[in-house]
Structure 1
Amino acid sequence: MSSNETAYLDLLKHVLENGIKKEDRTGTGTLSTFGYQMRFNLQENFPLITTKRIPFRLISSELIWFIKGDTNIKFLLEHNNNIWNEWAFKKWIESSEYTGPDMTNFGLRSQQDEQFNRLYEEQIDLFKSRILNDADFSRKYGELGNVYGKQWREWKTSNGNTIDQLKEVIDSIKKNPDSRRLIVSAWSPEDIPNMALPPCHTLFQFYVADNKLSCQLYQRSADIFLGIPFNIASYALLTHMIAHECGLEVGEFIHTLGDAHIYLNHIDQIKTQLSREPKQMPTLHLNKNITSIFDFEVSDIEIQDYNPHPTIKAPVAV
């Protein structure tokens, strides 16, 4: 069994056994612990979980969306990526322009009421179609506010300028790899009220030693079953991409969690996952002809030899 997969499975077990029941903003309820750290050796393999299928295409397209500084779900929908839909849809149904059926608390209601779920699916399909085909609607209701990509690429300053944090940190890795300031922050208190979802993965730092690039992420809020496998793979991929541009090997990805929680409606799914025997983790291949992370497209990123256990479905808490 790969130590990379063990690190994640140990987190699941830890929170199941030690988590405290807490309420949360979604009304779902959680088992929660505060403060946890995992380490992943990127030299060993690519840490894409095998005890359930993780859709890597969604991870790579979302990361490219972040890197581009984009904050509109249109790019994601064009790549058949639906992981941010619910937050944009919530903005639409709560607007004065929405005149469709009552979608209040659609996240929980769609799980509990089959008839409502069919109505919800109809409305979200109509919403996605308008985002893709109506430019004015997309500009207004596809926007999520100044979420991750905006902070990474256009951090607002007090004098009205912007800072391209991601570009600056890559330049610093190349010019001053021993710096202790190789940091990108997504947490801007001024922008929090206008974000569809305040950043869960809030700050990451790079470290260069022995010609290897390592990355540590601090994540304030961690949905362990659905979100964390995506976050692990996403930041491992980002580390590979930046190492590729900077002519470095990869080292470790270190994942530090604040509120690490299991939603109460994910417990059965987690028990299913823990009953499975992990398989060999895959390998990552990047297009060697790409020399800048800002030029990567989804087709330039490939996972090979990924043969996981089947998907385990679970509802998203919105």
Structure 2
Amino acid sequence: MASLAQSTDSLSSPHWEWQYLELMRRIWRQGDERIDRTGVGTRSVFGAELRFDLSDGRMPLLTTKRVYWKTASREMLWFLTGDTNIRALCAQNVQIWTDWPLDRYRRETGDPISREDFSARIVEDERFAERWGDLGPVYGKQWVDWPTYEPVGDGSFRAGPGINQVAQVVRSLRENPGSRRHIIEGWNVAELDGMALPPCHKTYQFHVAGSRLNGLLYQRSCDVALGLPFNLWGAALLVRMLAQQSGLEPGELVWMGGDVHLYLNHAALVEEQLSRTPSGDPRMEILRLPESIFAYRIEDFQVSGYEPQTHIPAPVAV
């Protein structure tokens, strides 16, 4: 593999993607090998940081393999709706979340239905989708409808109005940019057991410096090969949308990981990707200013300068 010094852009500064590849290399060569929840096994390190400049339309879009940024964007837009059923995703042929309800359906019914047929039935049959497509109170539910409870006269509690954390952050960025409380949190301890998968990218924090909006994502658990490329794009996209809605310019994205790992059955992907050299400088433009953070559409995002190397397939651990 080419050395860090050998791979440079036209300004003779290291390509940002080397951060990602060096993290992948460190995990694969030095990580602690362990059995995980899925039973597949991982190599893991604890604690990692990556930083990306988002100015001038720059985006952390990997070039050493193709990343389907439209799929990642559709997932982020779905989070912002607060929806927790995969039906809307499947209707767009976004299968990021299909494996979890599919696994539950197969276990509980004994039906060896294919993923393709399961997804098609989710889209076609509303009652089937209601029964088998719901993920529980995952990301979007916590982001835009965090539950509250109110006391009643007999000492019990009833459900109160949900809290829209995203709307609160937009308002606080506009009205109190110096606040240290621009946070979107997904880790609702009381509801973890009801989620198909507890939030991995759990905490987002934002920081205004002059006219620039910086974002930080803390990820408690990170599948570096398959998940992280999508997580980086999604976090950067969220920063850009929030910046536009707040009248700010995108600044820096800081990513921090807790248990940062590679699955043992991703060896072929890891070795292939580590043999490649980053190139290019993908940029993204938002083509209009929607009336709110919740009104963006996939057509609003235009990527240029993206010429990735070929996709590297690998299995998802459920």
TM-score (ref. length: structure 2): 0.90
User: Are the equivalent residues in 2 in contact too, given 1:47–1:281 (CA < 8 A)?
Assistant: no
User: Where do residues 8-23 of structure 1 align in structure 2 (5 Å cutoff)?
Assistant: 8-23=20-35
* Structure 1 residue runs without a partner (length 5+): 102-121
1:26-61 Cα offsets, whole Å, 9 max, x none, are 111111011111111111621100000000111110
Identity %: 42
Match of 1:100 in 2: 111
Candidates 40, 44, 51, aligned match of 1:28: 40
Match of 1:86 in 2: 99
The answer to whether 1:127 aligns with 2:127 is no
Shift of 1:79: 1.2
User: Are the equivalent residues in 1 in contact too, given 2:15–2:278 (CA < 8 A)?
Assistant: no
Match of 1:54 in 2: 67
User: Are the equivalent residues in 1 in contact too, given 2:90–2:120 (CA < 8 A)?
Assistant: no
Shift of 1:281: 2.6
Match of 2:175 in 1: 175
Match of 2:244 in 1: 244
Shift of 1:287: 2.1
- The separation in 2 between residues aligned to 1:125 and 1:288, in whole angstroms, is 35
1:105-156 Cα offsets, whole Å, 9 max, x none, are xxxxxxxxxxxxxxxxx52222112211111111121110000000000001
- The separation in 2 between residues aligned to 1:311 and 1:249, in whole angstroms, is 32
Shift of 1:94: 2.8
- The separation in 1 between residues aligned to 2:141 and 2:168, in whole angstroms, is 14
Shift of 1:12: 0.7
Shift of 1:88: 1.3
Match of 2:86 in 1: 73
User: Are the equivalent residues in 2 in contact too, given 1:42–1:250 (CA < 8 A)?
Assistant: yes
User: Where do residues 267-306 of structure 1 align in structure 2 (5 Å cutoff)?
Assistant: 267-306=267-306
1:273-305 Cα offsets, whole Å, 9 max, x none, are 111111113110112242422111111112112
Match of 1:148 in 2: 139
- The separation in 2 between residues aligned to 1:100 and 1:91, in whole angstroms, is 10
Q: Please, which moves more after superposition, 129-138 or 178-187?
A: 129-138
Matched to 2:71, the amino acid is: L
Q: Please, which moves more after superposition, 148-157 or 291-300?
A: 291-300
- The separation in 2 between residues aligned to 1:94 and 1:181, in whole angstroms, is 42
- The separation in 2 between residues aligned to 1:312 and 1:126, in whole angstroms, is 24
Matched residue count: 296
- The separation in 2 between residues aligned to 1:296 and 1:311, in whole angstroms, is 27
Matched to 1:100, the amino acid is: D
- The separation in 1 between residues aligned to 2:203 and 2:29, in whole angstroms, is 28
- The separation in 2 between residues aligned to 1:210 and 1:267, in whole angstroms, is 44
SS of corresponding position for 1:221: strand
Match of 1:255 in 2: 255
1:175-202 Cα offsets, whole Å, 9 max, x none, are 0000001111000111111101111011
User: Are the equivalent residues in 2 in contact too, given 1:49–1:281 (CA < 8 A)?
Assistant: no
SS of corresponding position for 1:16: helix
Matched to 1:126, the amino acid is: D
User: Where do residues 37-52 of structure 1 align in structure 2 (5 Å cutoff)?
Assistant: 37-43=49-55, 45-52=58-65
Candidates 127, 130, 135, aligned match of 1:139: 130
SS of corresponding position for 2:253: strand
The answer to whether 1:233 aligns with 2:233 is yes
- The separation in 2 between residues aligned to 1:168 and 1:158, in whole angstroms, is 19
User: Are the equivalent residues in 2 in contact too, given 1:218–1:257 (CA < 8 A)?
Assistant: yes
Q: Which has the higher helix share?
A: 1
Q: Please, which moves more after superposition, 264-273 or 18-27?
A: 264-273
- The separation in 1 between residues aligned to 2:270 and 2:212, in whole angstroms, is 34
Q: Please, which moves more after superposition, 166-175 or 265-274?
A: 265-274
User: Are the equivalent residues in 1 in contact too, given 2:65–2:310 (CA < 8 A)?
Assistant: yes
User: Are the equivalent residues in 1 in contact too, given 2:213–2:249 (CA < 8 A)?
Assistant: yes
User: Are the equivalent residues in 2 in contact too, given 1:33–1:261 (CA < 8 A)?
Assistant: yes
Q: RMSD in angstroms over aligned alpha carbons?
A: 1.3
Matched to 1:73, the amino acid is: I
TM-score (ref. length: structure 1): 0.90
- The separation in 2 between residues aligned to 1:166 and 1:245, in whole angstroms, is 11
Match of 1:6 in 2: 18
- The separation in 1 between residues aligned to 2:138 and 2:26, in whole angstroms, is 30
- The separation in 1 between residues aligned to 2:302 and 2:101, in whole angstroms, is 29
